[in-house]
Amino acid sequence: MKKLSIIACLTILLLSCQTTSTEEANTKDLNDFQFLEMEITDFQEGYKNGDFTIAQVTEAYLERIVAIDMDGPQLNSIIDLNIDAMEIAEALDEELKQGKSRGPMHGVMVLLKDNIDTHDEMHTTAGSRALKESHPLQDSHVAKKLREAGAVILGKTNLSEWANFRGELSSSGWSGILGQTKNPYILDRNPCGSSAGSGVAVSANLCMVAIGTETNGSIVCPSNNNGIVGIKPTVGLVSRSGIIPISFTQDTAGPMARTLSDAVICLGALTGSDSSDVKTLESQGKALSDYTQFLKADGLKGKRIGLYTGPIGRHYKVDTLVYEAVDYLKSQGVEIIEIDAISKESTGGPSFQVMLHEYKDGLNNYFASLGPEAPIKNLEELIAFNKQDSIELLHYDQRYLEMAQEKEDLNSEAYLDALSKLMKRSREEGIDRVMDEHDLDAIMAPTGGPAWKTDLVNGDSFHVGSSSPAARAGYPNITIPMGFIDELPVGISFFGRAWSEPILIEIAYGYEQGTKHRKPPQFLKPE
């Protein structure tokens, strides 16, 4: 199928959806989908048996995106569609006919957060109108690895603009380009961010796997609010080259999926050293290309897990689910040790200063990577653009961009001091210390509370969160669905030392398989 015909196909589909009567749209079962909740291994078996082709699956997902994201509930989770998707799918089908498979990601439908570069017809915008016509000069390392693995990149997902580090009182999931992403469980609830579109698209069965990015909470919180699995890897396990940055110290990309097995399969395709990202050099001898060996049914047996009680006591309904999880873990042979604090001294201040310094440096380097035709040349130009735009500052300011612009370079004493404090407090005096003292395999905590109502005036309303210890240390974190509060999902997080993905996968898989709290959203309208 040619590029023009896929555009025409999507246009016809969209027009068809728009002409459907309101009554028909309201009564249609939005989860009447041939591939609903199917896992990657199910698709691989179907391809092998000839039950369906990659092209047929691609077309089905594109139709669902149009029907649900652009029409119907209008989730606003997809910023851009890949007009090459059908051609890619047909080429991958041809490879299978010739007896060639690229591995477990062959024919897997993937969406990328729109701060991840692709060198194709899609733009990479960070949700900002300043970059609405920006075309990167090459694929990000993540996109390159996915293509090599045989994935079909369906499109780009909406996000909290500039990965939610632009200004005060922001609403997660809002961008100047697409507006507000909706939570598929109850449509006026917030999807959390900044990987909002990735979390929503996975939960709504608009793809098999999505890639999010996290500096602090931006993979695990959307996974929590949208009832899915998220893996935030150790910083350096997955290359950040070609990803619009916030923090060189804390940024990472990671997979988001409906099941841990799907996320783990995808994780293996993303790892590897990249000379363009020196952090990945630290992963040599530690990174694996296949983590599925740690999906063990008895992965909980004999584990010692610290229950971080800091987030407990803020929401009794969340607490109830946490202690139900604790009871289950104990029943499977886990020893639980309560810990009331992780770091001896605050990590928040140093982390914020590190982020501001690295943001300025990282953004200016990213804009330079776009070449002489870049729509924005530096951070100063971005700030000026936003001031002149009619939409960008409509709901909230750009205080963090302005604060970053005021910072000195990365050789400054202020930056180096903040970085030293952050690393010492979060690692050797933080997670490493606590785990050594109590001989822990992992630490657990509630990922978050139930999704709050989206509020473009007052911004986000967080009540519970536990992402900071792992995020600030650059250590891995996995969130798994823990249950529901009324119709809204919440998750539980397992985090630990650097490069401890294998043991975290064992624990998370044992919990997931024994509880199976995931259920698809019903796209409920607010009462």
- Rounded CA-CA distance 446/346 in Å is 20
Task: Output the 3-class SS for 331-356.
Answer: HCCCEEEEECCCCCCCCHHHHHHHHH
The catalytic residue positions are: 113, 194, 218
Give the residue, 3 or 451, on which the prediction is more confident.
451
> DSSP for 408-452?
--TTSHHHHHHHHHHHIIIIIIIIHHHHHHHT-SEEEEE-B-SPP
Best CATH choice for the domain 3-515 from the list 3.40.190.10, 1.20.1250.20, 1.10.1740.10, 3.90.1300.10: 3.90.1300.10
Q: Residue 432: pLDDT band by 50, 70, 90 thresholds?
A: very high
pTM: 0.96
Q: Give the pLDDT score at 474.
A: 98
**Which among 99, 107, 16, 15 is positioned nearest to 59, based on CA atoms?**
107
Q: Name the token pair of 437.
A: 């003292």
pLDDT at 14 over 80: no
User: What three-state secondary structure class fits 325?
Assistant: helix
Q: Give the pLDDT score at 8.
A: 41
Q: Give the pLDDT score at 453.
A: 98
What is the mean pLDDT of the segment spanning 348-372? 98
Q: Is 36 exposed, middle or buried (0-12, 13-18, 19+ CB in 10 A)?
A: exposed
State the average pLDDT for the chain: 95
Q: Residue 10: pLDDT band by 50, 70, 90 thresholds?
A: low
Q: Name the token pair of 41.
A: 């291994």
pLDDT at 279 over 80: yes
Share of the chain above pLDDT 90, in %: 94
> DSSP for 19-38?
TS-HHHHHHS-TT--TTTT-
Nearest-10 crossing angle of helices 501-515, 316-331: 100
Question: Which residue(s) pair with 322 in the sheet?
Answer: none
- Rounded CA-CA distance 145/289 in Å is 11
307 to 94, 228, 438: CA distances (angstroms): 50, 21, 11
Model confidence pLDDT, tens digit, residues 138-167: 999 999 999 999 999 999 999 999 999 999
pLDDT at 347 over 80: yes
Q: Give the pLDDT score at 284.
A: 97
Model confidence pLDDT, tens digit, residues 242-257: 999 999 999 999 999 9
The number of CA neighbours under 13 Å toward the Cβ of 82 is: 29
Q: What are phi and psi of 307, to 5 degrees?
A: -90, 110
Task: Output the 3-class SS for 240-288.
Answer: CCCECCCCCCCCEEEEEECCHHHHHHHHHHHECCECCEHHHHHHCCCCC
**Which among 301, 349, 339, 297 is positioned nearest to 472, based on CA atoms?**
349
pLDDT at 18 over 90: no
Model confidence pLDDT, tens digit, residues 61-77: 999 999 999 999 999 99
pLDDT at 205 over 60: yes
pLDDT at 3 over 90: no
What is the mean pLDDT of the segment spanning 336-353? 98
**Which among 61, 346, 113 is positioned nearest to 251, based on CA atoms?**
113
pLDDT at 78 over 70: yes
Model confidence pLDDT, tens digit, residues 407-429: 999 999 999 999 999 999 999 99
* All structural domains of the chain with their residue ranges: 3-515
Instruction: Say what the alpha-carbon torsion angle 363, 367, 368, 372 is, to the nearest 10 degrees.
Output: -170
Q: Residue 265: pLDDT band by 50, 70, 90 thresholds?
A: very high
pLDDT at 60 over 90: yes
Model confidence pLDDT, tens digit, residues 473-518: 999 999 999 999 999 999 999 999 999 999 999 999 999 999 999 9
pLDDT at 523 over 90: yes
Assess contact for 13 and 97: CB atoms under 8 A. Answer: no
